[in-house]
Amino acid sequence: MTTPILLTPGPLTISRQTKESMLRDWGSWDADFNRITARIRERLLAIVHGEGTHECVPLQGSGTFSVEAALGTLVPRNGKVLVPQNGAYCQRILRICRVLGRAHQAIDYAENEAVRVEDVERALAADPSITHVALVHCETSAGILNPLQAIAEVVARHGRSLIIDAMSSFGALEIDARTMPFDAVIAASGKCLEGPPGMGFVIVRRAALEQADGNCHSLAMDLHDQWVYMKKTTQWRFTPPTHVVAAFDSAIEQYLAEGGREARGARYANNCRILIEGLAKLGLRSFLPAEIQAPIIVTFHAPAISNYQFKAFYDAVKSRGYILYPGKLTTLETFRVGCMGQMGERGIQGAVDAVAAVLLELEAAA
Ligand SMILES: *Cc1c(COP(=O)(O)O)cnc(C)c1O
């Protein structure tokens, strides 16, 4: 059996070309390597049209490291963060605020509800001490798409700053710095850009970054320091994940060759449609209403099979070459399927076919 295809929203299945670009070793001081870093930063900035106004600061680690770094660097110690909350990644932001000792306030939603602009507006009007809003663009826990553009406009109108966790949307869904006011957009190598996991990056409005000198609670997480050092030396401050950087560069090259944001977004949207329609034919219902379903990851109700257990379902689908993702809802039994990554020759239909075969198997055994 060949390596199974990951139907998970990062790590995900990366192309052979991306994998092969990890076969060479790079010195972190080497000018050729630092040119790769510079090219990645430039191209990431261009994806959101932030040239001239924003800076791209890369950071070692998984995506959460960059979320923590952005909050720690950009929110002053006496700042306050408003977090509209509809899933696990929003809760993680609240937890980071708690650990960093930054004042915070949540607006809580159900796991199948998108954030409402009016609520954010009301909270901002009621509390002038709120300095920042932290919004998760696509809440990967259920797959909800939050109304980013409308919220960005409200936050700007109230003169506050917006920090966007766009981890599972960056590169696939539109974010345009020319028309959308924000201070920071956070993402990572191993999501929609289809690189290996291992580094994150934050696109920061230059003026906000300049003002952030000395805010950060941590040396390693200080994006201002990373930025200043990189500007001065072209190098990363501490050992970079060299192979990941080289592979991410290759992944971005392939992304641009595929047609960039629009092509990537269209491919995922098509996967999402085939998946939802295909599994619906098998009697598997998706959890979210279509209007708030992001074309990134889909939550499905567990199959109505007696003695259903995710583990057995997972193992059976895995033996047919696909890795599912467990559900992350608090009360309902669900499972998730990602729409992203290199799905191989049979594409997402291969995954639908595998689930179909497994359901027949499990039903026959039940
Ligand atoms: C993947 C993801 C993160 C980061 O998670 P890590 O496990 O640290 O990579 C943060 N926010 C969202 C919305 C994500 O999908």
Task: Show the tokens assigned to 333.
Answer: 């039994």
Distances (CA, A) of 251 to 254, 315, 341: 5, 30, 11
Range of the domain at 130: 16-257
Query: What mean pLDDT value characterizes the chain?
Result: 97
Average pLDDT, integer, range 270-288: 97
Residue 329 confidence (pLDDT): 84
pLDDT of 330 strictly over 90 = no
Whichever domain contains 130, its CATH number is 3.40.640.10
Nearest CA, atom 9, ligand 1: 63
Same domain, 200 and 270: no
pLDDT digits (tens, 9 = 90+) for 194-245: 999 999 999 999 999 999 999 999 999 999 999 999 999 999 999 999 999 9
Q: How many domains does the chain have?
A: 2
Atom of ligand 1 nearest to the CA of 67: 10
How much of the chain, in percent, has pLDDT values that exceed 90?
94
Average pLDDT, integer, range 112-119: 98
Same domain, 358 and 241: no
Q: What is the pTM of this model?
A: 0.97
Residue with the bigger pLDDT between 2 and 200: it is 200
Check if 167 has its Cβ closer than 6 Å to any atom of ligand 1.
yes
Same domain, 232 and 304: no
Residue 33 confidence (pLDDT): 98
Same domain, 319 and 234: no
The Å distance, Cα 126 to ligand 1 centre, comes to 30
Say if residue 181 is preceded by a cis peptide, omega within 30 of 0: no
Average pLDDT, integer, range 284-313: 95
Residue 306 confidence (pLDDT): 86
pLDDT digits (tens, 9 = 90+) for 295-308: 999 999 999 998 89
Check if 62 has its Cβ closer than 6 Å to any atom of ligand 1.
yes
Rounded-to-integer distance, Cα 314 and Cα 41, Å: 38
Strand order in the sheet with 325-326: 297-301, 334-338, 325-326
Same domain, 244 and 281: no
Check if 8 has its Cβ closer than 6 Å to any atom of ligand 1.
no
Reference 106, options 98, 180, 187; nearest CA is 98
Residue to substitute in 83, 168, 298 for testing ligand 1 pocket (most ligand atoms within 8 angstroms of CB): 168
Atom of ligand 1 nearest to the CA of 138: 13
